[in-house]
């Protein structure tokens, strides 16, 4: 009897322990469920939502799209800033009131612009992935189809952000220069100078134009730091830190004297002014044998600065090639974006980077 009683007692104790453990587990699960129900839902990332909606995109790619949008300051930054301060496009970039009359839609937060920016960022990420494969994109139909989609999306975003210029006019960007005392004619002409670049038609190279407009809009600092026999090359420090997603080029807009292109393969964000015809140096097939189609991306053309001698003055920087002495550089203090409007020359200031 004593043995049986002990066995029963041990079994009873085990059952009690199991009941207690089970109760604790159930209580813990209930507690976690209540906490999850009471906690606010995590914020939804619009970029990931767009990427998922597009279909077939892994989360890491969706995160890459998010990074693209945030890096450009395309959607949230522009809209939040304009909501907080109507005179701002983004932090530190002042929008001229005169542009409001020309483009009323630019004065308020724009959901369409946010969506267009997200669409474009998604397509740019896809194009960059294709570029990394090493395929000759200019001769590959699938690549051409994807770049055409990116170009269409870029035209849409340009119109929403900077106004629809139509087929007859182009955007412009003014470079505000500062010549340093090392320039030979400093005593005669002083430190000030300007160069105005008219962007290429967006019907031909919308991605190249958009990239430079964003460089100008978020400009921080830069300078002409290379003095070569064929180009004057400039550093560009802005929110745009990546090179172009692909080598966008049109044979209808070649590298002639006075044109502006992106340096490097892949191109940008550094840029140069051609001081002679550079078709052989920077046009199709100029820097490699493997791809006879590839060329430097082109931005636009100098419409003020060639005839008045400003570009020639930059060419007087002491030394040749890449200049190691920063005291010899011609500084780019600020950039102004100009869009068609009722100004004296048919243009008004859209924004100006801080000096």
User: Using one digit for the tens of pLDDT, what is the confidence trace for 150-173?
Assistant: 999 999 999 999 999 988 899 999
Q: How far is CA 123 from CA 221, 247, 345, in A?
A: 29, 15, 36
Closest of 312, 303, 317 to residue 223, by C-alpha = 317
**Contact predicate 283/295, CB 8 Å:** yes
* Per-residue model confidence (pLDDT) at position 347: 94
Q: What distance in Å separates the CA atoms of residue 219 and residue 96, rounded to the nearest whole number?
A: 16
* Per-residue model confidence (pLDDT) at position 85: 34
Q: Is pLDDT larger for residue 328 or for residue 68?
A: 328
- Among 7-11, 123-127, 306-310, where is mean pLDDT lowest? 7-11
Per-residue pLDDT tens digits for 24-44? 666 666 666 655 556 555 444
**Any bridge partners for residue 47, and if so which?**
none
> What does the mean pLDDT of the chain come to?
79
* Per-residue model confidence (pLDDT) at position 13: 60
């Amino acid at each position: 009897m004593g043995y049986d009683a002990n066995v029963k007692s041990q079994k009873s104790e085990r059952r009690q322990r199991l009941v207690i453990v089970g109760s604790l587990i159930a209580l813990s699960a209930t507690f976690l469920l209540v906490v999850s129900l009471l906690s606010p839902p995590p914020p939804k990332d619009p970029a990931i939502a767009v990427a998922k909606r597009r279909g077939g995109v892994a989360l890491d790619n969706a995160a890459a799209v998010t990074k693209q949008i945030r890096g450009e300051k395309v959607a949230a930054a522009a809209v939040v800033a304009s909501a907080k301060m109507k005179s701002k496009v983004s932090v530190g970039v002042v929008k001229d009131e005169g542009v409001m009359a020309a483009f009323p839609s630019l004065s308020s937060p724009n959901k369409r612009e946010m969506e267009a920016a997200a669409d474009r960022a998604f397509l740019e990420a896809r194009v960059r992935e294709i570029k990394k494969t090493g395929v000759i994109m200019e001769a590959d139909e699938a690549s051409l189809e994807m770049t055409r989609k990116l170009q269409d999306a870029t035209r849409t975003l340009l119109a929403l952000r900077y106004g629809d210029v139509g087929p007859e006019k182009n955007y412009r960007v003014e470079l505000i220069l500062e010549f340093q005392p090392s320039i030979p004619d400093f005593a005669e002409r002083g430190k000030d100078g300007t160069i105005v670049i008219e962007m290429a038609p967006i019907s031909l190279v919308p991605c190249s134009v958009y990239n430079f407009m964003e460089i100008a809009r978020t400009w921080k600092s830069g300078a002409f730091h290379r003095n070569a026999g064929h180009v004057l090359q400039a550093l560009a420090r802005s929110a745009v830190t990546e090179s172009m997603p692909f080598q966008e080029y049109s044979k209808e807009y070649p590298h002639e004297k006075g044109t502006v292109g992106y340096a490097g393969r892949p191109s940008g964000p550094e840029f140069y002014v051609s001081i002679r015809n550079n078709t052989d140096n920077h046009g199709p097939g100029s820097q490699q044998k493997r791809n006879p189609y590839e060329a430097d991306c082109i931005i636009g053309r100098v419409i003020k600065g060639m005839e008045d001698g400003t570009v020639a003055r930059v060419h007087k920087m002491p030394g040749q090639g890449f200049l190691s002495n920063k005291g010899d550089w011609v500084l780019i203090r600020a950039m102004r974006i100009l869009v068609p409007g009722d100004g004296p020359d048919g243009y008004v200031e859209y924004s100006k980077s801080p000096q």
